[in-house]
Amino acid sequence: MAEYCITGGTGFIAAYLVKSLLEKGHFVRATVRDPENVEKVGFLWELSGAKERLKIFKADLMVEGSFDKAIEGVDGVFHTASPVFATDDHNVQETLIDPTIKGTLNVLSSCTKASSVKRVVLTSSCSAVRYRDDVQQVSPLDESHWSDLEYCKRYNVNYTLTYLSMT
């Protein structure tokens, strides 16, 4: 079976990826900020196959090289880790955009160091496809339905987040 690394292992998408991959018999490495925090990571150990095929690694999006150990030797990487936007935070560039970009670059840098990695999957925010005039008429939304930057400007939606998701 293959071995995969999933960044942000306790997140919504990541946790379902961990579960699915373990159920299919794969080996999984999940990265989290604090592997010792049982309150946050404990549920991962309860997943079927976790005790036999799950390893949890400490990694931080803002620390260059912190993903190296978790990624070395895996066949593929699912990069789902990302800062979460707080609606009352007015410094979006510093608290969301910069860490998202730097974190993704750090993960990709670790991937390039690991000769074993055959594929990298980057996840995105729903903001990449949800802000547009025809959103109510289009279902399901997919990569052909990018958010419209003019719509975001018109309704004062933070279009830098949307743009970042689209690039």
- List pLDDT tens digits, range 99-152: 888 999 999 999 999 999 999 999 876 767 777 888 888 878 777 888 787 887
Beta bridge partners of 56: 30
Q: Residues 94, 137: one domain?
A: no
Q: Residues 11, 93: one domain?
A: yes
The SS3 of residue 139 is: coil
Which domain CATH number covers 42?
3.40.50.720
Q: Residues 95, 132: one domain?
A: no
Domain tally, the chain: 2
- List pLDDT tens digits, range 12-22: 889 999 999 99
Residue with tokens 């306790």: 10
Q: Residues 119, 138: one domain?
A: no
Residue 131 Cα to chain centre, angstroms: 21
Beta bridge partners of 156: none
Task: Cis check for the bond before 99: say yes or no (omega within 30 of 0).
Answer: no
